[in-house]
Amino acid sequence: MTEALLEPAAEVAPPPPAPRSRRLLLSVVPWLIPAVVTGAMLHATGTPAFDIARYAVYLALAVLLPGTLVHRALRGSRGNLPEDLGLGGATGLLLMLVGWALAAATGLQVLLPGWPLLIILLFVAVPRLRRHWRIADPQPLPAVWSWGIAVAIAMAVLSLGTTWRNTPLPPADASWYQDLGYHLALVRELMRSMPFQVPQLAGDTLRYHYLSDADMATAAMITKIDPATVLLRLWLPPIMALTALVAAALARQLAGKWWAGALGGVLAVTGLPLILGSPVTAVSGATLSYLSPSESYQLPLVGLLLAVAADVLRGRAIGWAWALVFPLGVAVAGAKSSGLPPVVAGLAAAGLAVFFWHRERLRATLILFGTALAAMLIGYKLFAGGGAGTLKVQPLSVLDIFLPYRQTLGAHDLNDGNVPLGLADASAGGLLFIGALIGWWLLMQISRLAGLALLATGRAGRDPAAWLLAGVTVAGAGGMWLFWHPSGSQIYFWSGVLAFATVLTVWLLADRAPGPRALLGGLVAGAVWAIVAPKFAAPKVHTVRAWSWALLEPVLLTAVVAVVVVAVALLVRRGPVARRALPAALVAAVLGAGFGGFVLRIKPEIRHALQPAVSKTNPSVTRDEMAAAQWLDHHSGTDDIIATNVHCLRYSPKGECDARAFWVSALTGRRALVESWGYTDQALAADGINGKRYPLQPAPYPDRFALNERVFAQGDPADVATLRTQYHVRWLFADSRVGPISPRLAQSATVRHVAGPVTVYELQ
């Protein structure tokens, strides 16, 4: 195979260039759309305008500018500013992690604002680096590329409408999703110096994939913005934008066509599985998640790592860009424990292609694979915890997340055994239903899986970069179906690769589409059908037969419509060209259907996009409780330890405590002697003991917990003194909403603040 055959298909010529002034206008105006949409939504949901402006300046000067300069120095310019900023922004995230780690290791967080400034000054002072301030060989992309990506980013931000509206900034009467409180507590912890501790269990070493929280901590320390505002509002929209831009750059790099880049970037943040009017959506649909910052944060980092790896696998000398591989690997491993294994598996698959067809690249490929593997192992050693260690092999356990299975065969599933109980006890008909359910999931995810067919095509089938993305896709899906996790977190293996699996499908389309008519026709037809398809209701009777028909009916209807459309198309345009265009049109249709599904999803979100955040009528945390926690944050020392009687997210009818109420450590920013232990290693390791899930397990360190509870219930001066002298507790956060507070406590500690049900005491 000659080298020429391994290059991507020739670039389709973009439209003729417009006059320079018009070109500049067309290239700038589209980016105002996501900027205006994001700013308006932030303002409507209570984000201070000064915070929005400060964060925008931080993003531009501390992340994008130094990252773009370093990326150009290591890998060169892409010839256009949007792709440079996307890849440079991902590089900037990595650089800020390095700065944060240096500051946290030395205790010099006060110097952190100088870290990006130091990088910028380096590119000013060193003559050989000054050329990276500009694009030496401009190759501007068509305006339609910018319009497509910009609108997609705006749509992704609009999808946050209801979530932002239901998550008011503190202080407010609110019922936050518990993981947001957990991440906010980690953000506050990572603003301290190493070694880090579990905020809810002072003294325990923190082991968790917390680098997304470190990124937010860095932003909060540099901008002086409230960490809650960073997490709940400001942080995710730029991550969405970087994901779209990095995916677009990767798609153009691999497929060699500008429109493939645009389509890859759009679908990376707006693509969904097929819906077809089905009463349920296939598990693991959207790429980005507001409720899982770690899942979202890894995406631009993985995209940059794949872009560098593709260059190596295609035999291109990358020079100083080798310096990115190991740090990126560690960053991905520390961002999400499920993020790097599919990449390593993809590199292994690419290695097979190199071994069979391009052995001259074998040495570089082995170095690349070994570096990524070392980063994964070191990352596991440094960061794995908080549930990663509870992952175990149990094929098909993800079925428990499927509503049709959970309401039928899996109604009594346990995590014991080699396979789910519903599968082990299934009859022949039940096994057929499970097989059909797996087939249904594969069909619904076809827009992410169709790219695997690229390996069967002539030219691209021997491209190691195609094997890389195919390996990533298969490993992501395989991880979801192979493993069990008490929280169902095995789905993140698949969620983390969705953007790049979609890029592979776009590459297939670019490789096989004979012309623009098949491409546009398929995209439009798929999107229109996704929007207008009849909506089928879930069955009222929860039986295998009822659910089988509920899932099959929309598929059959879509198949009939597809056959009619194809028949009409072939009648209108006959001949071999039309027949060759048909497969490409079908691939385009499933991609368009994913986009149409996203349009359906954000329609109700748009109604809430510019509405103010609302307080809950029956909140899990009240405005007074939040305000009391914020008072303690402002009047206590950074390293002070507090004790609280708040432990439970809610109580079950059996009196069991769901220990995931993380809001006290989150809003005070202080380590608690014992707050909520539901996500600790001890609780997760005990999952299933006595028939209880991990959040319902008893508190670790029973003696310490008993002392903590006696202080609030009895107020014994001896117990209070033990807290102060033995455990170095400085403050008590007593909340009468969760239990009675002893009047004697005011005799043993000094009342410093009262707000609603909360009394804050200081231990002298």
Q: If pLDDT is split at 50, 70 and 90, which confidence band does 7 have?
A: very low
pLDDT at residue 15, as a whole number: 55
Q: What is the pLDDT of residue 388?
A: 54
State yes or no: cis peptide before 171, omega within 30 of 0.
yes
| The two three-digit tokens of residue 452, written as one number | 């695997």
Whole-number mean pLDDT of the chain?
Answer: 92
Residue 458 pLDDT exceeds 80: no
Segment among 5-19, 56-70, 294-308, 657-671 with least mean pLDDT: 5-19
Proportion of the chain above pLDDT 70, given as a percent: 94
Query: Which one, of 500, 94, 116, lies nearest residue 333 by Cα?
Result: 94
pLDDT at 10: 42
DSSP string, 693-747: -GGGSPPSSHHHHHHHHHHHHH--HHHHHHHHHHS-EEEEEEETTSS---TTHHH
Tokens 């499970």 found at: 434
pLDDT interval class at 337 (50, 70, 90): very high
**What is the mean pLDDT of the segment spanning 592-607?**
92
Mean pLDDT of 148-154: 97
176 has pLDDT over 70: yes
Mind listing the pLDDT tens digit for each residue in 724-734? Answer: 999 999 999 99
- At 205, list the tokens: 């070493």
Mean pLDDT for the stretch of residues 105-129 = 96
pLDDT confidence of 121, banded at 50, 70, 90?
very high
- Of the pLDDT bands very low, low, confident and very high (cuts 50, 70, 90), residue 2 is very low
Would you state the pLDDT for residue 747? 93
Round to whole Å and give the CA distance between 401 and 491: 9
Residues with Cβ within 8 Å of residue 432, at least 6 apart in sequence: none
Residue 1 pLDDT: 33
pLDDT at 24: 66
How many Cβ atoms sit within 10 Å of the Cβ of residue 197?
Answer: 15
For the residues 387-403, what does the mean pLDDT come to? 84
3-state secondary structure of 761: strand
**Rounded to an integer, what distance in angstroms lies between the CA atom of residue 661 and that of residue 184?**
12
Residue whose C-alpha is closest to residue 290's, from 478, 98, 41: 41
Q: What span, in angstroms and rounded, lies between the C-alpha atoms of 253 and 380?
A: 31
- Is residue 13 predicted with pLDDT exceeding 70? no
**How far is the C-alpha of 192 from the C-alpha of 183, rounded, in Å?**
15
Q: What is the mean pLDDT of residues 64-80?
A: 97
Going by C-alpha positions, the residue among 113, 65, 110, 74 that lies closest to residue 92 is 65
Summary count for the chain: helices (H), strands (E): 33, 9
Whether pLDDT at 757 is above 50: yes
pLDDT at 102: 97
With a CB cutoff of 8 Å and minimum separation 6, the contacts of 106 are: 193
Arithmetic mean of pLDDT, 158-165:
94
Evaluate if residue 20 carries a pLDDT over 70. Answer: no
The structure tokens 């890029």 sit at 503
Structure tokens at 763: 């231990």
Q: Which residues contact 127 (CB under 8 A, 6 or more apart)?
A: none
Q: Which residues contact 77 (CB under 8 A, 6 or more apart)?
A: 84, 132, 135, 136, 137
pLDDT-derived band at 11, boundaries 50, 70, 90:
very low
Residue 303 burial by Cβ neighbours in a 10 Å radius (0-12, 13-18, 19+): buried
pLDDT class of 617 with cuts at 50, 70, 90: confident
Average the pLDDT over 403-421 and give the result: 81
pLDDT band at 390 (very low <50, low <70, confident <90, very high): confident
pLDDT of residue 653: 60
Secondary structure element (H or E) that encloses residue 467, with its range: helix 464-482
**For 467-495, how does the pLDDT look when each residue is reduced to its tens digit (9 = 90+)?**
999 999 999 999 999 999 888 889 999 99
CA dihedral 275, 278, 282, 285 (to 10 degrees): 40
Residue 432 has pLDDT above 60, yes or no: yes
Residue with the bigger pLDDT between 459 and 760: it is 760
For residues 127 and 133, give the distance between their C-alpha atoms in angstroms, rounded to a whole number. 11
Q: How far apart are CA 208 and CA 122, in angstroms?
A: 34
Give the model's confidence band at 6: pLDDT under 50 very low, under 70 low, under 90 confident, else very high: very low
pLDDT score at 378: 95
Peptide bond preceding 300: is omega within 30 degrees of 0, i.e. cis?
A: no
Inter-residue long-range contacts of 125-131, CB under 8 Å, 24+ positions, other chains counted: 129/69, 129/73
Is residue 604 pLDDT above 90, yes or no? no
What secondary structure letter does DSSP report for 233? I
What is the average pLDDT across 642-649? 96
State pLDDT tens for residues 572-584: 776 676 677 888 9
Alpha helices in 358-427 (DSSP H): 362-383, 403-406, 421-424
* 87 and 249 Cβ atoms separated by less than 8 Å: yes
pLDDT digits (tens, 9 = 90+) for 225-253: 999 999 999 999 999 999 999 999 999 99
pLDDT at 5: 31
Q: Is the pLDDT of residue 3 over 70?
A: no
Query: What does the domain layout of the chain look like in residue ranges?
Result: 26-133+140-173+233-608, 620-762
Q: Are 80 and 135 in contact (CB under 8 A)?
A: yes
Average pLDDT over residues 261-266: 97
Both tokens of 215, joined, read 């990124």
Closest listed residue to residue 597, CA positions, set 561, 568, 559, 558: 558
Interatomic CA distance for residues 608 and 114, integer angstroms: 39
What's residue 411's pLDDT?
A: 80
Position 687 scores a pLDDT of 85
Cβ–Cβ < 8 Å for 276, 558 = yes
Confidence at residue 386, expressed as pLDDT on a 0 to 100 scale: 58
Mean predicted confidence (pLDDT) in 348-376: 97
If you average pLDDT over residues 542-566, what whole number do you get?
A: 94
- By the 8 A CB rule, do 693 and 687 touch? yes
Contact 227, 218 (CB under 8 A): no
**pLDDT score for 636:** 96
Distances (CA, A) of 26 to 138, 282, 410: 16, 38, 54
Residue 561 has pLDDT above 70, yes or no: yes
Average pLDDT over residues 204-229: 97
Predicted confidence (pLDDT) at residue 566 exceeds the cutoff of 90: no
CA separation for the pair 283, 488 (Å, rounded): 11
Residue 303 binned pLDDT confidence (cut-offs 50, 70, 90): very high
d(CA 357, CA 360): 9
